[in-house]
Structure formats: structure tokens, C-alpha cells
């Protein structure tokens, strides 16, 4: 990743994931919406979006926020990780989905682990919340 330190990388990934989720729900990606989703004050959101814009992870102007191709790649990985973990908890382990636990684990998953998990779960296409799971290199397209 383009960032030094795990904490900073996780913080960046949370913003990218929030933008992905807002877009997926067909809501306008605005500062106020990102602020609400992340429970972070709007000035802090603006500051971070400016950093992400400089690092070419988002396209940010006062009127628009969108993911760049690199932001899309990171977002897809994050969504794949979290949704596969949800399938694991719900379908394989038969335990209640713990979003806090998912959030804690998803940032540390390596591609080979994610692919092994996906294969073990028979390459699910949707999470228990009926959202699409981005495909990985292990999946038949």
C-alpha cells in the first residue's frame, strides 16, 4: 500500500470502504454522507479526502467524490474480504455476524488467505446481506 504503518492503512481503507458502500446503496457520495457513515466530523472527512486525492485513491472536489482505479482496486479487496468473512460466520460457522470483528480482521487478510477462504466457501457470489462479493483470481468468472 502507499501508506506507512498499519493504522494509517486501515484508516485509508475505512474511507474507501465507506465510499464503496455509499455508492452501492445508490446514495450521493457527499462529505455529509461519509461523515455519517464513519461517525467522523465533516472537517476531518474533508482533510482525509484531500490526502486521498493527492495519493490518487479518490477524485475529490467540493461537488464530487469518487474512487480512482487504484481506489476501486483497494475497495474491491476490502469488500471481498469483509463479505467472505460474513459468509464464513453466517453459513459455515453458524454464528451471528460480528461487524466489529469483521472490521478488525479484514484489513489483515492476505490474498492467498482470501482465495483459500473463498475456495473453501465454494466461491459465494453474495454475502448474507445480499450484496455482491467481488470476484478473485480463484473464482471462475
Taking only the tens of pLDDT, the chain with its 141 residues reads 444 446 788 889 999 999 999 999 999 999 999 999 999 999 999 999 999 999 999 999 887 899 999 999 999 999 999 999 999 999 999 999 999 999 999 999 999 999 999 999 999 999 999 999 999 999 975
The three grid cell numbers given for residue 30, joined into one nine-digit string = 457527499
CB 82 within 8 A of CB 106: yes
> 0.85 exceeded by the pTM?
yes
Which parts of the chain fold into alpha helices (H)? 6-24, 31-38, 42-54, 69-87, 99-106, 111-120
Neighbour count for residue 127 (Cβ, 10 Å)? 20
Three cell numbers written together for 14: 475505512
Radius of gyration of the chain (CA): 15
- Map out the domains of the chain with their CATH numbers: 6-68 (1.10.10.10), 72-120 (no CATH)
As a whole number of angstroms, the distance between CA 66 and CA 51 comes to 14
pLDDT tens digit string along 94-130?
Answer: 999 999 999 999 999 999 999 999 999 999 999 999 9
Please enumerate, as own/partner, the contacts of 59-67 that have beta carbons within 8 Å and a separation of 24 or more: 64/29, 65/19, 65/29, 65/30, 65/31, 65/34, 66/19, 66/23, 66/29, 67/16, 67/19, 67/20, 67/23
Amino acid at each position: 500500500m502507499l501508506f506507512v504503518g498499519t493504522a494509517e492503512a486501515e484508516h485509508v481503507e475505512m474511507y474507501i470502504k465507506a465510499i464503496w458502500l455509499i455508492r452501492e446503496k445508490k446514495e450521493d457520495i457527499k462529505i455529509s454522507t461519509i461523515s455519517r457513515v464513519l461517525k467522523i466530523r465533516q472537517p476531518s472527512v474533508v482533510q482525509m479526502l484531500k490526502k486521498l486525492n493527492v495519493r490518487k485513491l479518490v477524485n475529490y472536489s467540493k461537488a464530487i467524490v469518487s474512487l480512482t482505479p487504484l481506489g476501486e482496486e483497494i475497495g474491491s479487496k476490502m469488500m471481498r474480504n469483509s463479505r467472505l468473512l460474513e459468509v464464513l460466520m453466517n453459513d459455515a460457522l453458524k454464528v451471528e455476524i460480528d461487524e466489529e470483528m469483521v472490521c478488525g480482521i479484514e484489513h489483515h487478510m492476505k490474498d492467498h488467505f482470501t482465495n483459500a477462504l473463498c475456495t473453501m466457501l465454494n466461491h459465494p457470489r453474495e454475502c448474507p446481506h445480499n450484496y455482491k462479493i467481488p470476484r478473485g483470481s480463484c473464482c471462475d468468472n
